[in-house]
């Protein structure tokens, strides 16, 4: 495969301008147990993006789990987050559009949850957020979406959404202002 400057996603490869990440399965799920991640991440398509944020890891973690912050950068508001293994997570407006169950919750480090669009027949997948300090004033945020059996509608919708979400989170934390989403 030859990476290009446009968004390309095939069997684990993601190229998004200069914000590309290509990782092997072992590094993507560091700290996740076998119940969270499949034995081989190379099976089926997957998505990964890494962004460096000019804020401490504690602030990035808070942005992942605090409703008032999530609602400013995520594409749909956070409806529910039960911050524990087995807890529920849901995003939506009046009712849930995305639902999942938390599989791993390590404050300041990682959040892993299942992911499913409500009403979709597509199989449940898994989202992994990893926050890694890079000194005191910045950190690395890695978002990985795995468990796809094929490039179904959920895969295509999320591959387009994750870059916007990661960029919006970074912009909000670094500038205090969310991205200026176009009015529909």
Residues 75-93: what's their mean pLDDT? Answer: 96
What is the token pair recorded at 47?
């998505």
Whole-angstrom distance, CA of residue 60 vs CA of residue 44 = 29
Residue 181: the pLDDT is 78
With respect to residue 183, please indicate whether it lies within any of the assigned structural domains.
no
With respect to residue 100, please indicate whether it lies within any of the assigned structural domains.
yes
With respect to residue 184, please indicate whether it lies within any of the assigned structural domains.
no
Residue 182: the pLDDT is 77
User: By the 8 A CB rule, do 161 and 44 touch?
Assistant: no
Which position has the token pair 């749909």? 76
Q: What is the DSSP string of 21-72?
A: ----HHHHTTT--TTTS-S-TTSS--EEEEEEESS-HHHHHHHHH-HHHHHH
Q: Which residues pair with 102 in a beta bridge?
A: 113
For 120, residues 6+ apart whose C-beta sits below 8 A from its C-beta are 153, 154
With respect to residue 167, please indicate whether it lies within any of the assigned structural domains.
yes
Q: For the chain, what is the mean pLDDT?
A: 81
Residues 116-138: what's their mean pLDDT? Answer: 97
> Which pLDDT band, with edges at 50, 70 and 90, does 184 fall under?
low
With respect to residue 36, please indicate whether it lies within any of the assigned structural domains.
yes
The candidate with the shortest Cα–Cα distance to 63, out of 154, 163, 139, is: 139
With respect to residue 181, please indicate whether it lies within any of the assigned structural domains.
no
The candidate with the shortest Cα–Cα distance to 169, out of 93, 65, 60, is: 60
Is this model's pTM higher than 0.85 or not?
no
Total of domains in the chain: 1
Give the structural domain span for 133: 8-175
Read off the CATH number of the domain in which 126 is found.
Answer: 3.30.530.20
Which stretches does DSSP call E strand in 118-173?
A: 125-133, 139-146
The angle formed by the CA atoms of residues 180, 167 and 160, to the nearest 5 degrees, is: 95
With respect to residue 40, please indicate whether it lies within any of the assigned structural domains.
yes
With respect to residue 3, please indicate whether it lies within any of the assigned structural domains.
no
> Which pLDDT band, with edges at 50, 70 and 90, does 106 fall under?
very high
Does the pLDDT value for residue 21 go beyond 70?
no
Highest mean pLDDT among 3-12, 103-112, 173-182: 103-112
Residues 159-173: what's their mean pLDDT? Answer: 95
């Amino acid at each position: 495969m030859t990476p290009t400057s446009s968004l390309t996603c095939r069997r684990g490869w993601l190229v998004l301008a200069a914000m590309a990440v290509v990782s092997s399965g072992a590094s993507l799920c560091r700290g996740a147990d076998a119940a969270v991640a499949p034995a081989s991440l190379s099976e089926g398509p997957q998505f990964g993006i890494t962004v460096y944020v000019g804020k401490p890891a504690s602030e990035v973690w808070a942005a992942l789990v605090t409703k008032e912050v999530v609602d400013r950068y995520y594409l749909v508001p956070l409806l529910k987050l039960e911050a524990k293994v087995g807890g529920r997570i849901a995003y939506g407006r009046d009712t849930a559009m995305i639902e999942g169950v938390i599989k791993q919750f390590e404050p300041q480090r990682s959040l892993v949850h299942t992911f499913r669009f409500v009403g979709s027949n597509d199989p449940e997948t898994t989202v992994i957020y990893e926050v890694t300090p890079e000194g005191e004033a910045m950190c690395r945020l890695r978002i990985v979406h795995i468990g796809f059996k094929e490039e179904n509608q959920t895969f295509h919708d999320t591959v387009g959404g994750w870059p916007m979400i990661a960029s919006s989170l970074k912009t909000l934390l670094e500038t205090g202002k969310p991205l200026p989403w176009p009015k529909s």
